[in-house]
């Protein structure tokens, strides 16, 4: 409390005393300045009057060129304080007679007194009727100016000391009057902050701003006390509810824990079964690939030995071709498995995408004829003629498989008489878009690139778009699908441009 009282009291006392002292000093300074100015003006006025009298007294002396008479008149000035000397000039500016301090400068055109810090001079013309006989210059000093200033300053200092004492007493009185309610308020706030007892009140009543502040503070304490009472009762009620809910939650938690244990066990069993299935498939593919070596090798041996009829040779060649196709399928599935695991090593080369798509168009000719659909390949807005060359970095076999699956899906997703458009755009990226007229069924739009997703195809496996996505991802390419009932379906693959 002492810290707050001392700080606030000093500020209020300093403000009152500072304002009072500043006002007194300013008033004293103005008074002294006014006094000094009045004294100097009065002295100069007296000097002007004396100069007029002396000028009148020396008219006859100048008229008769009587220097001794003029000097006698000037010597009488020694009896007058503040007069240092006098000089009489003729109309031509020559010194007629002088006593005491002689004028150093004379100007017959100057009529105003010359005043500096400690001395002054006045010029008075000497006239006889309308005739100008000469000029009288009176030199004077402000000799008693310092004594008067000292007395005034001493008196002012005494007044300042007296007023300062009265001001200190008044400031101390008003400081206590103003800060007493604030001290009470500070003590109450500190007590409430320490003890958390909101029943305390500040005992101060007044109609001024501090009284209003204290009244509102007491009102606020009353509201806080009422709120705390309500919160305490509400907290007790909540504790009872929480206790009941805790018992219920513990019972439910026990049930959920049992269900979670069963669910974790089921997930573990399902993951284990999936891993076993994938491993079995991988082993079966590897074993099938090994067994196919016999299916492919024996027809080659029979063909090399000869002694076969043309019909036998044709059948054996078909067996060998079927074996190679099955070998390619098994190899592709093994590659898909590696791509799924992220361990496939891409064998990149520059692939001419135009040549690749043209060869696929020839390969799809039978399917295009059966579906009565035509294929259009467009490069940067123009139909290609087959001589263009657009290269991308990738693996020829995988890219061929990806685009074969996408083109086949687009042909099968068209109606008779439609045109499947393959649009190639060359820029910062190479984008290949395949467009057909029918939309993707709504039930699989969100799962278009998922594994084993197929609708409306008797022999569909649901691996075409899935493998296309894997191949694109392996090539660091972006593959997207857009479909609607109005515009049909567009599948786009965006590849980085080949800058080699």
Q: What is the DSSP string of 215-237?
A: HHHHHHHHHHHHHHHHHHHHHHH
| CA 19 to centroid of chain Cα atoms | 45
Instruction: State which CATH number among 3.30.450.20, 3.20.20.70, 1.20.1740.10, 1.10.10.10 fits the domain covering 2-165.
Output: 3.30.450.20
CATH class of 346-496: alpha beta
Question: What integer pLDDT is reported at residue 3 of this predicted model?
Answer: 42
Rounded to an integer, the average pLDDT of 38-53 is 85
Q: 155: Cβ–Cβ under 8 A, 6 or more apart, which residues?
A: none
What kind and span of H or E run contains 95? Answer: strand 95-100
3-state secondary structure 430-451: EEEEEEECCCCCHHHHHHCCCC
Could you count the other beta carbons within 10 Å of the beta carbon of residue 138? 28
Candidates 201, 206, 190, 194; CA nearest to 224 is: 201
Q: 0.85 cut: is pTM over it?
A: no
Question: What integer pLDDT is reported at residue 418 of this predicted model?
Answer: 92
Question: What integer pLDDT is reported at residue 489 of this predicted model?
Answer: 93
| CA 187 to centroid of chain Cα atoms | 42
Long-range CB contact pairs, 179-187, < 8 A, 24+: 179/5, 179/8, 179/9, 179/12, 180/204, 181/206, 181/210, 181/211, 181/214, 182/8, 182/210, 183/1, 183/4, 183/5, 184/214, 185/213, 185/214, 185/217, 186/1, 186/4, 186/5, 187/1
Domain spans of the chain, in order of start: 2-165, 346-496
Rounded to an integer, the average pLDDT of 208-225 is 72
Lowest mean pLDDT among 111-115, 352-356, 406-410: 111-115
pLDDT > 80? residue 431: yes
CB of 312 closer than 8 Å to CB of 274: no
Calpha distance 8→177 (Å, rounded): 12
Could you count the other beta carbons within 10 Å of the beta carbon of residue 149? 15
Question: What integer pLDDT is reported at residue 9 of this predicted model?
Answer: 62
In tens, the pLDDT along 395-422 reads 988 898 889 889 998 998 899 999 999 9
- Are 2-165 and 346-496 equal in CATH topology? no
Calpha distance 237→203 (Å, rounded): 36
For β-strands 374-379 and 419-426, DSSP reports them as parallel
Question: What integer pLDDT is reported at residue 278 of this predicted model?
Answer: 62
**In sequence order, what are the beta bridge partners of 430?**
426, 495
Phi, psi (degrees; rounded to nearest 5) at 284: -60, -40
352 or 63: which leads in pLDDT? 352
Calpha distance 178→489 (Å, rounded): 85
Q: Which residue has the tokens 């009762």?
A: 233
CA distances to 399, 409, 426 from 480, rounded to whole Å, are 16, 15, 17
| Helices marked H in 306-395 | 310-341, 353-363, 365-371
Q: Among 213-217, 276-280, 298-302, 343-347, which range has the highest average pLDDT? A: 343-347
Residue 286: both structure tokens together: 């590897």
């Amino acid at each position: 409390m002492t810290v707050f009282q001392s700080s606030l009291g000093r500020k209020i006392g300093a403000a009152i005393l500072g304002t009072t002292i500043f006002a007194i000093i300013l008033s004293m300074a103005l008074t002294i300045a006014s006094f000094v100015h009045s004294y100097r003006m009065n002295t100069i006025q007296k000097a002007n009057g004396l100069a007029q009298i002396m000028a009148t007294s020396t008219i006859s002396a100048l008229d008769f060129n009587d220097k001794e008479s003029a000097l006698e008149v000037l010597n009488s000035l020694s009896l007058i304080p503040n007069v240092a000397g006098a000089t009489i000039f003729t109309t031509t500016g020559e010194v007629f007679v002088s006593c005491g301090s002689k004028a150093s400068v004379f100007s017959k055109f100057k009529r105003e007194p010359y005043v500096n810090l400690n001395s002054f001079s006045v010029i008075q013309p000497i006239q006889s009727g309308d005739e100008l006989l000469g000029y009288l210059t009176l030199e004077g000093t402000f000799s008693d100016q310092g004594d008067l200033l000292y007395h005034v300053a001493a008196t002012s200092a005494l007044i300042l000391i007296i007023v300062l004492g009265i001001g200190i007493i008044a400031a101390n009185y008003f400081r206590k009057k103003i800060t007493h309610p604030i001290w009470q308020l500070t003590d109450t706030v500190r007590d409430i902050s320490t003890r958390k007892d909101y029943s305390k009140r500040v005992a101060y009543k007044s109609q001024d701003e501090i009284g209003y502040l204290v009244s509102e503070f007491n009102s606020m304490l009353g509201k806080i006390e009422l709120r705390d009472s309500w919160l305490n009762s509400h907290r007790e009620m909540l504790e009872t509810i929480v206790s009941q809910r805790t018992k219920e939650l513990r019972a439910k938690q026990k049930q959920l824990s049992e269900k979670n244990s069963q669910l974790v066990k089921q997930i573990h069993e399902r993951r284990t079964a999936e891993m076993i299935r994938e491993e079995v498939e991988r082993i079966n593919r590897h074993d099938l690939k090994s067994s196919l070596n016999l299916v492919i090798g024996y027809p080659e041996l029979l063909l090399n030995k000869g002694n076969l009829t043309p019909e036998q040779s044709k059948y054996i060649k078909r067996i060998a071709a079927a074996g190679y196709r099955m070998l390619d399928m098994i190899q592709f599935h093994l590659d898909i498995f590696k791509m799924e695991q992220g361990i496939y090593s891409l064998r990149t080369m520059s692939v001419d995408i135009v040549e690749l798509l043209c060869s696929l168009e020839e390969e799809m000719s039978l399917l295009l004829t059966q579906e009565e659909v035509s294929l259009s390949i467009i490069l940067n807005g123009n139909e290609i003629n087959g001589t263009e060359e657009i290269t991308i970095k990738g693996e020829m076999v995988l890219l061929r498989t990806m685009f074969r699956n996408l083109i086949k899906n687009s042909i099968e997703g068209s109606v008779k008489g439609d045109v499947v458009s393959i649009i190639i755009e060359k820029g910062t990226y190479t984008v290949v878009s395949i467009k057909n007229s029918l939309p993707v069924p709504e039930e699989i739009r969100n799962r278009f690139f998922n594994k084993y997703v197929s609708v409306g195809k008797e022999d569909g496996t649901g691996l075409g778009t899935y493998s296309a996505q894997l191949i694109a991802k392996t090539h660091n390419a972006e593959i997207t699908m857009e479909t609607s009932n109005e515009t049909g379906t567009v599948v786009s693959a965006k590849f980085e441009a080949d800058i080699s």
